[in-house]
Chain A
Amino acid sequence: MPDLEHNPYNPIPMHIMQAYYESNDYSLKSFELSFDNREDCDEFFKKFNPGQFCQLSIFGKGEAPFGIASAAWEGEFIRFTVQKLGTFTQQIHQLKAGDPIGMRGPLGNGFPIGNWKGKNLVIIGGGCAFSTLYALTKHIQHPQNRSDFAEMIVVYGTRTSGLCMYKNDIQSWCQREDMQIHQAIDIPEEGWSHHVGYVPDVVKEVAPSPKNAVAVVCGPPIMTKFTLPILVELGFKPETIFTSLEKRMKCGIGKCGRCNIGSKYICKDGPVFSLAELQALPDDI
């Protein structure tokens, strides 16, 4: 008899609490999920760390990994922002409040925030990959956590203003005195008072100081590829630059074999890697 109590392939039963669109093109939708069982909830938050991901599962439709877009202090729910792209994400987009959904997680390592205490944080995101950085920023903003870190600078770029996620929160961040936020769009728009340009260029313009700082970069591969060298140019050491990777994965626990880069599995050893770690791996991304 397999031990189904601890079967890592067995999804936890959850329900959709809330579902709402994030972008004006209806491609990005956030889902807030609540736990059906008390023990599952306790177990989850015991392990949860910003930067981790979960496998969301609809029986009969399949399973796919998504980054967690909420902080633990927000409540006993988990938020995911899902981009409608393939067949499974189309199915997820059809879910509404009250619908059941399966979840396996939290999976992966998450951001090593324990090592970042007392440091300045430079958080750089692009597009829908900002979701786990949103979780990180929210986590740090909590009064109990904020004093653990020094200055915080957030750079967030999207193609258009309509694609910007978490709009209300981000607007309120502009008023906060304990952080700087630099929003950017790729193409100029009427009434836009923030940066215009690609994220790497905005980072160059903002020129965050590498002194006592760590940088976290999440975005489409092309953005990451051009942002990392700029951070290096600014004087950030490879050990202080972090990024989160994605690859096609199935099991999420290092068994099914498909998400490896060299001898590292993104699901188990990542998804968060420092640039120093990535430089030691073959170019198989």
Chain B
Amino acid sequence: MMHILNKKKLNQILTGWSTKYDIYAPQKVEDYSQFLPLGTADELALNEPHNTRFPPKSFFLPQSETLLKYDHRLKQLKEVVITPKPRIIFGIRPCDAYAVKLLDTVFDTAEYTDPYWKAKRNATLLIGMGCNDPCQTCFCTTVGHGPFNHDGLDALLTECQDNYFIETFTEKGNKLFSDLPAATKDQQRQVQEMQKKAAKSMQPAFDTTNLKQNLNQSFDSKYWAAISESCLGCGICTFLCPTCFCFDIVDEVQRNERIRNWDTCMFRIYSLEASGHNPRPTRKERTRQRIMHKYSYWIDHAGEIGCTGCGRCIRNCPVGLDIRAMLRAVNTFESETVNA
């Protein structure tokens, strides 16, 4: 069933939730938007031309997170208490919600469950906002998703004139909106058409048919040296990527804590071994690792491409490297391989 909510009533519904949940939603910060604790609906920035600058992965995998505490004699372990309050991430874009679902395949496996991830995941509802006007750097349809995809979401809002139309996909999501009236058949049709139109407006950015195969074949290709030449190795593409999850574990001596911090395969020290050997000594190998991980290794691990097409790496690259152009080049670079 599709519900209808007048835009003017959004504040009321958010206030209603706030007695039970912490609500986070995109708000304007300088010239971009960012997920922040919500006060009232007029603080919302739901119509920004771009997605939030930072991906919402940090709600589940904070940039820095305490794993363990020990006492000053470096002996006893103290329990780290994570008491995640129930919370709602409101206005998350479908690409970012799907990224969280993809990360579940890393942190919540049958073999080892990451308790820190799981606790925060269980306490969180994702209420999505579909994208009526996908921006130039978005390419979700190319990687198999779409501006109104609901995978990973508890509910999805579609903005249409004065109203939001709401589809719910989980019991928890349904409960949040169950008091709202249903949309008429006509309205439903109108919403569906809008959703289709938005998806249609997005041109395929590259061909994924043989992409994995082409990437695997290009492993020793000159191509990687060529495309990584202008890369500065700053790592912003990975820090702002909603599916990048690599972390480092270090002991924070002054706080008596063992913590994990986001890390990036784009840094030299990431793979440097104590012996001095580095399997990825130059930006060539590191760029290759980033691209191969997203478009080849993820498929082996989870059966899917590990990129949701959010475009943050494109918008924020200081030298204008465009992952779409890189992948188009892989598809046409086939034969020129060198034996490494």
Contacts of A248 in B (CB 8 A): 270-274
* Complex Cα spacing A202 to B275, Å: 25
With A4-B79, A8-B114 already in contact, the answer to whether A85 and B275 are too (CB < 8 A) is yes
Within 8 Å by CB of A268, from B75, B111, B277, B340, lies B111
With an 8 A cutoff between CB atoms, is B234 at the interface?
no
Query: Do the beta carbons of B83 and A1 come within 8 Å of each other?
Result: yes
Q: How near does chain B come to A11, taking the closest CB pair, in angstroms?
A: 8
Query: Do the beta carbons of A263 and B297 come within 8 Å of each other?
Result: yes
Query: Do the beta carbons of B297 and A254 come within 8 Å of each other?
Result: no
Would you list which residues of chain A between 257 and 279 have a CB under 8 Å from chain B?
257-258, 260, 262-263, 268
Query: Do the beta carbons of A260 and B297 come within 8 Å of each other?
Result: yes
Interface stretch of the complex, out of A55-63, A151-159, A206-214: A55-63
Indicate with 1 or 0, residue by residue over B213-232, a CB within 8 angstroms of chain A CB atoms.
Answer: 00010011000000000000
* Complex Cα spacing A221 to B273, Å: 13
Contacts of B160 in A (CB 8 A): none
Known: A63-B258, A248-B273. 12 other contacts (CB 8 A): A2-B82, A58-B74, A59-B74, A62-B250, A250-B249, A251-B249, A254-B111, A255-B106, A256-B249, A257-B265, A258-B246, A262-B297
Query: Do the beta carbons of B107 and A59 come within 8 Å of each other?
Result: no
With an 8 A cutoff between CB atoms, is A177 at the interface?
no
Q: How near does chain A come to B168, taking the closest CB pair, in angstroms?
A: 28
Query: Do the beta carbons of B115 and A285 come within 8 Å of each other?
Result: no
* Complex Cα spacing A246 to B272, Å: 12
Query: Do the beta carbons of B107 and A3 come within 8 Å of each other?
Result: no
Which residues of B approach A to under 8 Å, CB–CB?
Answer: 67-68, 70, 74-75, 77, 79-83, 106-107, 109, 111-116, 118-119, 216, 219-220, 245-251, 253, 256, 258, 260, 263, 265, 270-275, 277, 279-280, 285, 289, 292-293, 296-297, 300-301, 340
23 interchain pairs (CB within 8 A)? Answer: A1-B83, A2-B116, A3-B113, A3-B115, A8-B114, A11-B77, A59-B251, A59-B258, A60-B256, A63-B249, A64-B274, A85-B275, A247-B271, A248-B274, A255-B107, A255-B114, A257-B247, A258-B263, A262-B297, A262-B300, A268-B111, A284-B285, A284-B289
Which of B81, B109, B270, B279 has most A Cβ within 10 Å?
B279
With an 8 A cutoff between CB atoms, is A86 at the interface?
yes
Would you list which residues of chain A between 40 and 95 have a CB under 8 Å from chain B?
58-64, 85-86, 89
Query: Do the beta carbons of B301 and A2 come within 8 Å of each other?
Result: no
- Closest 3 CB pairs between A and B? A2-B115, A263-B300, A257-B246
Contacts of A100 in B (CB 8 A): 75
Indicate with 1 or 0, residue by residue over A1-42, a CB within 8 angstroms of chain B CB atoms.
Answer: 111101111110100000000000000000000000000000
With A1-B83, A59-B70, A263-B297 already in contact, the answer to whether A284 and B258 are too (CB < 8 A) is no
Q: Can you name the residue of chain A whose Cβ is closest to the Cβ of B269?
A: A248
* Complex Cα spacing A179 to B301, Å: 42
* Complex Cα spacing A263 to B114, Å: 20
Q: How near does chain A come to B109, taking the closest CB pair, in angstroms?
A: 8
Q: How near does chain A come to B64, taking the closest CB pair, in angstroms?
A: 14
Contacts of A257 in B (CB 8 A): 245-247, 263, 265
Within 8 Å by CB of A61, from B246, B247, B251, B297, lies B251
Q: Can you name the residue of chain B whose Cβ is closest to the Cβ of A85?
A: B274
Indicate with 1 or 0, residue by residue over A100-123, a CB within 8 angstroms of chain B CB atoms.
Answer: 100000000000000000000000
With an 8 A cutoff between CB atoms, is A170 at the interface?
no
Q: How near does chain A come to B164, taking the closest CB pair, in angstroms?
A: 35
Query: Do the beta carbons of B219 and A283 come within 8 Å of each other?
Result: yes
* Complex Cα spacing A260 to B251, Å: 23
With A4-B79, A9-B68, A257-B265 already in contact, the answer to whether A89 and B274 are too (CB < 8 A) is yes
Query: Do the beta carbons of A255 and B112 come within 8 Å of each other?
Result: yes
Q: How near does chain B come to A237, taking the closest CB pair, in angstroms?
A: 24
Q: How near does chain A come to B210, taking the closest CB pair, in angstroms?
A: 17
With an 8 A cutoff between CB atoms, is A191 at the interface?
no
With an 8 A cutoff between CB atoms, is A253 at the interface?
yes
Query: Do the beta carbons of B112 and A258 come within 8 Å of each other?
Result: no
Contacts of B253 in A (CB 8 A): 60
Contacts of B107 in A (CB 8 A): 255
* Complex Cα spacing A7 to B280, Å: 31
Q: Can you name the residue of chain B whose Cβ is closest to the Cβ of A265?
A: B301
* Complex Cα spacing A159 to B74, Å: 37
With an 8 A cutoff between CB atoms, is A282 at the interface?
yes
Q: How near does chain B come to A281, taking the closest CB pair, in angstroms?
A: 10
Q: How near does chain A come to B59, taking the closest CB pair, in angstroms?
A: 16
Q: How near does chain A come to B110, taking the closest CB pair, in angstroms?
A: 12
Indicate with 1 or 0, residue by residue over A162-195, a CB within 8 angstroms of chain B CB atoms.
Answer: 0000000000000000000000000000000000
* Complex Cα spacing A246 to B278, Å: 12
Q: How near does chain A come to B265, taking the closest CB pair, in angstroms?
A: 7
Contacts of A13 in B (CB 8 A): 77
With A258-B263, A262-B297 already in contact, the answer to whether A60 and B247 are too (CB < 8 A) is no
Contacts of B75 in A (CB 8 A): 59, 100
Query: Do the beta carbons of B119 and A1 come within 8 Å of each other?
Result: yes
Q: How near does chain B come to A119, taking the closest CB pair, in angstroms?
A: 29
Q: Can you name the residue of chain A whose Cβ is closest to the Cβ of B70?
A: A59
Contacts of B301 in A (CB 8 A): 263
Q: How near does chain A come to B63, taking the closest CB pair, in angstroms?
A: 14
* Complex Cα spacing A254 to B110, Å: 12
Q: Can you name the residue of chain A whose Cβ is closest to the Cβ of B252?
A: A60
* Complex Cα spacing A166 to B279, Å: 30
Query: Do the beta carbons of B112 and A253 come within 8 Å of each other?
Result: yes
Within 8 Å by CB of B246, from A60, A64, A256, lies A256
* Complex Cα spacing A3 to B219, Å: 41
Query: Do the beta carbons of A6 and B265 come within 8 Å of each other?
Result: no
* Complex Cα spacing A182 to B256, Å: 48
* Complex Cα spacing A60 to B76, Å: 12
